[in-house]
């Protein structure tokens, strides 16, 4: 198992969070096999792999039943392990090849209207002092670039090119992309850099620890958890349901609003950093639903 995880880390370049998830899934797989009396990869049969999948969906005294999405991720990790063992000559057969992950129910991305995005950003910036300027800049960047929350909090000051109105984002697997930054986000970031970041940096001992763009109240890099809290607080102030608003909500809204405005799906794919256009095409379903709604309420012969 260690060799497989090293392979994913070094040769495949998977993100640390993904590796951690795979490690948890494979540890649970190893525990399941040990309880069944299986001692090595060469003793595993296809029925053991399918039995593990069934156990994930059932749950037990120590684990709640997993959703189709979580169970599918675990099975993908297991299938990858067996494939790696086959290619490395450890086993003669890939016993997991025919075990298919459960198909998750298709969930459309949740986007919020432009008016709600504006209310959210306005509420974030209503906080007095440096933190309000930082919070507004953070939300403007999330919505203005479609960045993932990890990409936004991982930004360095030098990643922002104000002359070219663009920013360099480090995506999944260390893949970088350069995306444009809109005028609203650019102004918000410039205000934050001039009027807020120096004050936040001064709170840290010895000045700024690293070149992170977004800093916390102690002068260190803003964490993902803190960014979530900022968004949740802004949603409550804006009168939005904070339970349904997340950093990914702004990413979904970014993509949906671009497509609503006529952007090509492949352009949106590049902006989001999706490896496959298939991932991006789910947003077109949201747009079609919106078009259908407008048609049904606007066309004189659409009503039944």
Task: Report the pLDDT value the prediction gives residue 206, as an integer from 0 to 100.
Answer: 43
Task: Report the pLDDT value the prediction gives residue 285, as an integer from 0 to 100.
Answer: 64
- Provide the whole-model pTM: 0.62
Task: Report the pLDDT value the prediction gives residue 209, as an integer from 0 to 100.
Answer: 44
Q: Which entry of 28, 73, 148, 252 is annotated as an active-site residue?
A: 148
Q: Which entry of 24, 248, 266, 292 is annotated as an active-site residue?
A: 248
Q: Are residues 122 and 78 in the same domain?
A: no
Q: Within 13 Å, how many C-alpha atoms sit on residue 209's CB side?
A: 11
Task: Report the pLDDT value the prediction gives residue 141, as an integer from 0 to 100.
Answer: 95
- Which residue segment(s) compose the domain that 225 sits in? 114-244
- Please indicate whether residue 148 is annotated as part of the active site: yes
Tell how many helices (H) and how many strands (E) occur in the chain.
Answer: 14, 3
Bridge partners for 221 per DSSP = 215
The angle formed by the CA atoms of residues 57, 62 and 67, to the nearest 5 degrees, is 25
Task: Report the pLDDT value the prediction gives residue 108, as an integer from 0 to 100.
Answer: 60
CATH of residue 240's domain is: 1.10.443.10
Assess if residue 153 is contained within a domain.
Answer: yes
- Please indicate whether residue 292 is annotated as part of the active site: no
Q: Which entry of 23, 83, 168, 172 is annotated as an active-site residue?
A: 172
Q: Which entry of 28, 251, 252, 257 is annotated as an active-site residue?
A: 251
Assess if residue 256 is contained within a domain.
Answer: no
- Please indicate whether residue 251 is annotated as part of the active site: yes
Q: Are residues 237 and 129 in the same domain?
A: yes
First and final C-alpha spacing in the chain: 60
- Please indicate whether residue 110 is annotated as part of the active site: no
Assess if residue 181 is contained within a domain.
Answer: yes
Q: Are residues 129 and 170 in the same domain?
A: yes
Reported as a single tens digit per residue, the pLDDT across 18-36 is 888 889 999 999 999 999 9
CATH of residue 24's domain is: 1.10.150
Q: Are residues 120 and 76 in the same domain?
A: no
Assess if residue 269 is contained within a domain.
Answer: no
Assess if residue 10 is contained within a domain.
Answer: yes
Reported as a single tens digit per residue, the pLDDT across 206-253 is 444 458 999 999 999 999 999 999 999 999 999 998 777 887 889 889
Task: Report the pLDDT value the prediction gives residue 7, as an integer from 0 to 100.
Answer: 82
In the chain, how many domains are there? 2
pLDDT < 50 regions, the chain: 206-209, 304
Q: Are residues 234 and 118 in the same domain?
A: yes
In the block, tokens 């900022």 appear at 230
């Amino acid at each position: 198992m260690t060799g497989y995880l090293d392979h994913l880390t070094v040769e495949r370049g998977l993100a640390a969070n993904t590796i951690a998830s795979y490690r948890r899934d494979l540890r649970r797989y190893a525990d399941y096999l040990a309880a069944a009396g299986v001692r090595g990869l060469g003793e595993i049969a296809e029925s053991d792999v399918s039995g593990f999948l069934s156990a994930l969906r059932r749950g037990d005294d120590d684990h709640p039943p997993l959703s189709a999405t979580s169970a599918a991720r675990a099975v993908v990790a297991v299938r990858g392990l067996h494939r790696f063992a086959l290619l490395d000559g450890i086993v003669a057969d890939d016993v997991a090849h025919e075990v298919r992950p459960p198909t998750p129910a298709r969930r459309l991305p949740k986007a919020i209207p432009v008016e709600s995005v504006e209310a959210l950003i306005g509420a974030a910036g209503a906080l007095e002092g440096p933190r309000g300027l930082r919070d507004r800049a953070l939300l403007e960047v999330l919505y203005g670039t479609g960045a993932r929350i990890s990409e936004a909090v991982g930004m360095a000051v030098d990643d922002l090119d104000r002359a070219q109105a663009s920013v360099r984002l480090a995506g999944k697997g260390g893949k970088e992309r350069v995306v444009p930054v809109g005028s609203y986000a650019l102004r918000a970031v410039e205000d934050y850099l001039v009027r807020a970041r120096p004050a936040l940096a001064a709170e840290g001992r010895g000045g700024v620890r690293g070149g992170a763009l977004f800093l916390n109240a102690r002068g260190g890099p803003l964490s993902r958890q803190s960014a979530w809290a900022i968004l949740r607080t802004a949603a409550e102030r804006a009168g939005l349901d904070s339970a349904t608003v997340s950093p990914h909500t702004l990413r979904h809204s970014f993509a949906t609003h671009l497509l609503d405005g006529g952007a090509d799906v492949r352009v949106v794919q590049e902006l989001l950093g999706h490896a496959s256009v298939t991932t991006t095409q789910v947003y077109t379903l949201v747009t079609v639903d919106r078009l259908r709604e407008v048609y049904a309420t606007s066309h004189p012969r659409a009503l039944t």
